[in-house]
């Protein structure tokens, strides 16, 4: 499905379904403009379950990450109800006689964690598969042979544990856990999907950051990044009826503790091989100063950008991976949505401007020299990778200390600095732990599961990014008043012609 697909095609696309609610409509009366991801990604009809200003008696729509998210009802329609998981939401309400429940959205959200177990690889022939999965969210490792300690097994519990045996399993995993994060991004919240694990555990495959243009544009793409792009542009296609939308893409890597711009066209200088600086805006937003941000209007344009970036990304071979990532890579999409003047009257004031950021993070894998056989530059890269991951672990530990926490060491590495919002900040975050089932990787797999278990205890402070600057808000309201005055003058002219 390309970017020009019809509403029906979007609604019936099997990639976007979760098997719930197909064919449902909201309210008791017909709906008006479609707004929101539920109608695009949950297999509902083109009328949608989220509407902006439905007709008389139409109730507010329902949307859920863990519950229901009501945007607006019609003249006598009630607003939608709040839901569990990220707080109770009631954004917008009925029209003339409808109930209203506009509230600022500012709530706590835990980091979600999914563990992905890949199949045994060719270089693991002769190894035993030691991972035991107890669906939907439990996983166990046995005690390591000749290991110390009293434990006879190591049990863990996450939001989901999946053994990836086919593309269908990957698709179901995406619909269940990644899709809600992308939906958050489209609603105006910051969001992050982050893949962690030992080298060769399948992180880059899971994220899809190494996909070429053909893979990204496939009718049924694989990987978090390609699938998210398909969902995102399906959303933009419909939401553009209500919003003016600007989408920007950025692609950077952290290599040997230097932040490099993978989209720079320069071959030297600050935007080429030299390091970029990380800055913080007055509102707390952390960004890479000088990194290219490219306006994109289609999946094709993003695919070309990913191709360009992947030709520059640092990779190399070692004993455990023929194409090992030697850097942490971050694809960042920033979306600005401004309600069209013609639609502003139908949209609650809190939803007329939305600015959100989506980080798609492919971390380099943790390494042990005795396993990788690395030397020279590969050894130095491994040391840098492990240092960044160690600092990430220190941040996770600090965030899960509860009331004892006094300082979170975000500034100790470039990686943790860039992920400051994603871990403990303003973001809906999904942590994907990728593991090998081979017995020879027992220690590395156990370390990954322990790492992920701590990450699951992190609580983020999620808030809707809907604030214009005072100057922008004044200009927007001035334009809106002019539009309403023009419509009023036209109505007076028509009434005068009819003699009323």
406 is in an annotated binding site: no
Q: How far apart are CA 305 and CA 303, in angstroms?
A: 5
Pairing outcome for strands 315-318 and 106-110: unpaired
What does the CA dihedral 221, 224, 227, 228 come to, rounded to 10 degrees?
-160
Strands ordered across the beta sheet of 132-134: 132-134, 138-142, 153-157
237 is in an annotated binding site: no
| Angle 194-19-7 from CA coordinates, rounded to 5° | 85
Q: Locate tokens 């992947």: which residue?
A: 310
Helix (H, G, I), strand (E, B) or coil at 15: helix
Which among 65, 62, 104 is positioned nearest to 81, based on CA atoms?
A: 62
List CB contacts of 260: < 8 A, sequence separation 6 or more. 252, 253, 254, 273, 275, 276, 312, 327
Measure CA of the first residue to CA of the last residue in the chain; give whole Å: 52
204 is in an annotated binding site: yes
Instruction: Answer whether 300's CB lies under 8 Å from 233's CB.
Output: no
Q: How far apart are CA 17 and CA 122, in angstroms?
A: 34
499 exposure class (CB count in 10 Å sphere: 0-12, 13-18, 19+) = exposed
200 is in an annotated binding site: yes
Number of residues that this document lists for the chain: 500
Q: How far apart are CA 383 and CA 31, in angstroms?
A: 57
198 is in an annotated binding site: yes
201 is in an annotated binding site: yes
202 is in an annotated binding site: yes
- Residues at the binding site are 197-204
- Residues at the binding site for ATP are 197-204
């Amino acid at each position: 499905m390309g970017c020009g697909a019809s509403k029906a095609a979007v609604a019936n696309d099997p990639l976007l379904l979760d098997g719930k609610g197909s064919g449902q409509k909201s309210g008791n009366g017909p709906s008006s403009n479609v707004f929101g991801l539920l109608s695009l990604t949950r297999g509902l009809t083109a009328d949608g379950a989220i509407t902006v200003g439905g007709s008389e008696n139409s109730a507010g729509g329902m949307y859920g990450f863990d519950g229901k998210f009501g945007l607006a009802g019609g003249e006598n329609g009630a607003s939608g109800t709040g839901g569990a998981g990220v707080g109770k939401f009631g954004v917008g309400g009925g029209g003339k006689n409808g109930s209203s429940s506009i509230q600022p959205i500012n709530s706590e959200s835990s980091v979600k964690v999914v563990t992905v177990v890949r199949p045994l690889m060719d270089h693991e022939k002769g190894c035993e598969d030691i991972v035991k999965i107890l669906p939907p969210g439990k996983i166990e490792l046995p005690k390591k042979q000749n290991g110390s300690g009293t434990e006879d097994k190591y049990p863990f519990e996450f939001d989901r544990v999946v053994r990836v045996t086919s593309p269908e399993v990957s698709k179901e995993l995406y619909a269940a856990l990644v899709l809600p994060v992308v939906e958050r991004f489209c609603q105006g919240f910051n969001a992050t999907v982050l893949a962690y694990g030992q080298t060769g555990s399948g992180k880059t495959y899971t994220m899809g950051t190494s996909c070429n243009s053909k893979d990204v544009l496939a009718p049924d793409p694989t990987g978090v990044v390609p699938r998210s792009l398909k969902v995102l542009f399906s959303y933009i296609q419909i939401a553009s009826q209500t919003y003016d939308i600007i989408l920007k893409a950025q692609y950077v890597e952290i290599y040997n503790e230097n932040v490099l711009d993978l989209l720079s066209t320069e071959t030297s200088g600050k935007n080429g091989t030299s390091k970029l600086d990380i800055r913080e805006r007055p509102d707390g937003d952390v960004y890479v100063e000088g990194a290219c941000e490219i306006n994109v209007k289609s999946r094709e344009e993003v695919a070309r950008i990913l191709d360009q970036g992947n030709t520059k990304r640092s990779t190399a071979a070692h004993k455990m991976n023929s194409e090992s990532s030697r850097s942490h890579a971050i694809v960042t999409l920033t979306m600005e949505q401004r309600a069209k003047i013609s639609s502003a009257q139908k949209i609650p004031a809190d939803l007329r401007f939305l600015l959100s950021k989506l980080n798609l993070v492919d971390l380099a894998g943790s390494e042990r020299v005795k396993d990788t056989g690395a030397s020279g530059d590969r050894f130095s890269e491994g040391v840098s990778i492990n240092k960044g991951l160690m600092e990430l672990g220190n941040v996770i530990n600090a965030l899960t200390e509860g009331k004892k926490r006094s300082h979170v060491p975000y500034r100790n590495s470039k990686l943790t600095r860039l992920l400051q919002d994603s871990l403990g900040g303003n973001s809906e975050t999904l942590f994907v732990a990728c593991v090998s089932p081979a017995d020879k990787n027992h220690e590395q797999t156990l370390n990954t599961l322990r790492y992920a278990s701590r990450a699951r205890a992190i609580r983020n402070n999620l808030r809707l990014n809907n604030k214009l600057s005072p100057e922008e808000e004044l200009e927007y309201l001035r334009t809106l008043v002019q539009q309403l005055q023009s419509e009023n003058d036209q109505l007076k002219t028509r009434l005068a012609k009819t003699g009323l």
